[in-house]
Amino acid sequence: MAESTELQARKTIHAGGEWRAAVSGATREILDPADALPFAVVAEGDEKDTDLAIAAARRAFDEGDWPRTPVTERAALLRRVADLLVRDRERLGRLEAQDAGKTVEEGRVDIDCVADAFRYFAGLVAGEAPGRVVDAGSPDVHSVVVHEPIGVCAMITPWNYPLLQASWKVAPALAAGNTFVIKPSEITPMTTIALIDLLVEAGLPEGVANIVTGPGHSVGARLSEHPDVDLVSFTGGLISGTKVAQAAAPGVKKVALELGGKNPNVVFADACATDEGFDTAVDQALNAAFIHSGQVCSAGARLIIEESVRDRFVAELARRAEKIRLGRGTEDGVECGPLVSEQQRAKVEAYVESALQEGAVLRSGGKRPEPSPQRPENGYFYEPTVLDHCHREMRVVREEVFGPVVTVETFRTEDEAVALANDTEYGLAGGVWTADAGRARRVAGRLRHGTIWINDFHPYLPQAEWGGFGKSGVGRELGPAGLAEYRETKHVYQNLAPKPVRWFAG
């Protein structure tokens, strides 16, 4: 926002082209999870603020020019936004790190990925044909299938990747010609607020982009149920996603849900047959489980390893986990930051305690670290934790922990590995490590997860659809399918030589 006074800092609701305070005047302090100290104040919106934003988006869609703007112009605006993100990369990366607790390097990479998303969807719509011609079997008929914007889109985003997850919704929605109201997580809203400023700077018309900062029980619920909202896109936990779907159901709205995951990382012994292979598999298992302190929906939180290499692999994994440098994400040399909140840390601690009571063996971590200059005493830090001898009946294996915790299960045969990997209510992502190309394809084909990485973990491509099976959600983000979520399909049938049919007397 252009003005930076304390009063203006609380005007974080953007509706109809204007920054506003909450109607109620309520505010919320945003805490740095590294020290639990406030570093920003935002408006705490509610249903009234949400109604104002939805009304602005509705007017902009029904009466404004954006839905009818040529795709080349919409694409050009998205590219300008990408350029502005690159310009502000350092500022936004640091803000993301402070807000969400991740390292600055992770924050910078996130901003790069956000810019990539805007560029991808710009290129996707700019290169499209105007419609798909359908052969009607007559030279007198012109029949074409066209895509149109769906309308007013409600977007509810999570706290772990605030700007990245917002971009996966905002970029395709704008590329398709929609207007939107976005509700970022109430604990990590800062970079999404900044994105609205960049959209305005890039020339987006008033009312097309709207944001309401506030809690899910009021803002999120109202967005989901409001009759003037045409689509609801939600990324977050299973319980909240279920509530969103229930609220949207009476209006028969289109709903896209990207929910949780309990993702297997399957390691076959042949992947560890060489020193280089072993080192790589261990390193990637650390990356799978502990990047962003495990607060990732696609985290490889279930290590499923062949029994013959289990002892050596787990010992090395635990040794390296103990060496991960914890601290404030904005400090040089820090490899892993704090958890996002005290509530999240308490949840992780409860899962580890229950696992130990159920027979798991602690190989590393399992506690809060000692305070240091890089780790303030009040920060929400928790050590990377390896839990060995785990089994499917444990809560820590079945449920999404969303913290720096990896569980270890073992298998002897390929069939057993697949059965373990698929033995989950979720189906978001999974990894397979093997030197056998045939086995890699077989296992990947049998796993019931939306994304399968072979000899890698965590990369994604803007061109490839992202989504899950089972309770990991419905709908897709990224890729052509991600754009399709924000469109309606219309069949236009034109008779070039109409004639009477005379089916009826008269």
Q: Which residues pair with 234 in a beta bridge?
A: 156, 257
| CA dist., res. 215 & res. 49, Å (int) | 12
Q: What type of residue sits at position 475? A: G
Nearest to 197, CA basis, from 230, 168, 163: 163
DSSP 250: G
Catalytic position from the list 44, 186, 258, 409: 258
β 179-183/152-156 pair status: parallel
Q: What type of residue sits at position 52? A: L
DSSP 220: I
Whether the Cβ atoms of residue 329 and residue 97 lie closer than 8 Å to each other: yes
134 CA to centre of own chain = 36
| CA dist., res. 408 & res. 426, Å (int) | 18
| CA dist., res. 42 & res. 351, Å (int) | 32
- DSSP H helical ranges for 226-274: 238-248
Question: Considering Cα of 151, then 157, then 162, then 167, what sign does the dihedral take?
Answer: negative
The residues, any chain, with a CB within 8 Å of residue 355's CB and separated by 6 or more, are 387, 390, 394, 395, 396, 407
DSSP 251: G
β 37-43/405-411 pair status: unpaired
| CA dist., res. 158 & res. 259, Å (int) | 10
DSSP 464: S
Residue 185 DSSP SS3: coil
Q: Which residues pair with 302 in a beta bridge?
A: 264, 407
DSSP string for 222-235: HHHH-TT--EEEEE
Residue 263 DSSP SS3: coil
Could you confirm whether 258 is annotated as catalytic? Answer: yes
Q: What type of residue sits at position 457? A: F
Could you confirm whether 336 is annotated as catalytic? Answer: no
Q: Which pair of tokens denotes residue 77? A: 């605006």
DSSP 466: B
| CA dist., res. 402 & res. 220, Å (int) | 21
Catalytic position from the list 153, 297, 336, 390: 297
Q: What type of residue sits at position 84? A: L
- Give the position of tokens 């897709």: 476
Other Cβ atoms closer than 10 A to 325:
12
| CA dist., res. 271 & res. 250, Å (int) | 51
User: Catalytic positions, please?
Assistant: 258, 297
